[in-house]
Amino acid sequence: MPAASVEFIRAGRRQRARRWMLVTGILTLIAVSLCAAMLMLGNTIYPLDQVVRALSGEKIKGVSFAVGTLRLPRMLAGLFAGFAFGIAGYTFQTLLRNPLANPNVIGVTSGASAAAVFCLTVLQASGAVTSAAAVGGGLVTVIVIYILARGKIFSIGRLILIGIGIQAMLDSVISYLLLISSEKDVPAAIRWLSGSLNGSKMSELPPLVLIVLICTPILMVLGKHLHVLELGEQTASSLGVSTDKTRIALIVCAVFVVSIATATTGPIAFVSFLAGPIAKRLVGSGFHGLIPAGLVGINLVLAADLIGQFAFVYRFPVGVVTGLLGAPYLIFLLIRMNQKGEL
């Protein structure tokens, strides 16, 4: 290859790397600003210096309780759940080469939600039991969908259609569980199903933090195969990628993070659906978008929670706000895909 061509390729790669670093840096700054706003804003607005002093362990009347007990768990839940939804959505969409192939649409979130609602309403359990049940429900759901879609040749379109059908069935199960539940359990389950950071507790966060910290490096390592899998089954196999093993490992990790996030905050609508496309548009092609997608997820959840708390007369759960943002994009995407003949 001529030296000029090699230098041109290297220059393009350096330019893409600078763009990735710039976008990631800006998204990180926005996330840090939103985290600070989550800790400062509430019924009483506290200055940043008092928040920092309270977080460092200094006892300040009113501030220590509000920040340490109420606002910090809420912020951390939004931070890690948003990151989890973002990386899970990006993994599914890139792996299955379809923007509709995210945990919300293909039924994974509904499987985790059905298991968690069963624990909340029937078993009246919470905490670790609900988290374990949500992860189990998500894994069982994706295994069923994968087996039904496998056939002789793996079909992405068949997987999405089966996933949508499974989602409808699981949503019916959730409705049935709410109907047979006692009146005192229904309000809590409905609040949870709307996707909410209300009532977040530090004791509930360790499973979410642990799963995100474990699965993110795995997804980053396996992520180098994502763009190869995008080229198709035969091309990926010819390049030496074990398609089935790689796909299963990626799906299992993504299901773990999205299920544990769902168990912690409820199914926050459309975050996993929006984060990946936004990150890809910002970063461009040629570099892995997993971390930017996670950062976009964080910013979506925290910004939506602040809007839900302070932008209206009444306070709305974060899932209501993200639903208002995501639904128009879903309609737009379906119209565009139909015009291109992809539906």
CATH number, domain with residue 206: 1.10.3470.10
Q: How many domains does the chain have?
A: 1
Tens digit of pLDDT at every position of the chain (343 positions): 566 565 655 666 677 778 889 999 999 999 999 999 999 998 888 999 999 999 988 888 888 889 988 999 999 999 999 999 999 999 888 887 777 777 877 788 888 888 888 888 888 776 678 778 888 888 888 888 888 877 666 667 787 888 888 888 998 998 898 888 877 777 777 777 888 898 888 888 998 999 999 999 998 888 776 666 665 555 655 555 666 677 778 888 888 899 889 888 888 888 988 898 888 888 876 667 889 999 999 999 999 999 999 888 888 889 889 988 887 877 877 777 667 665 5
What pTM was computed for the model?
0.89
- Give DSSP secondary structure letters for 40-98: H-SSS---HHHHHHHHTT---TTHHHIIIIIIHHHHHHHHHHHHHHHHHHHHHHHHTT-
> Comparing C-alpha atoms, which of 107, 232, 153, 300 is closest to residue 292?
300
∠ Cα 177 179 182 (to 5°):
90
- List the domain range (segments joined by +) for residue 88: 3-339
Phi, psi dihedrals of residue 257, rounded to the nearest 5°? -70, -40
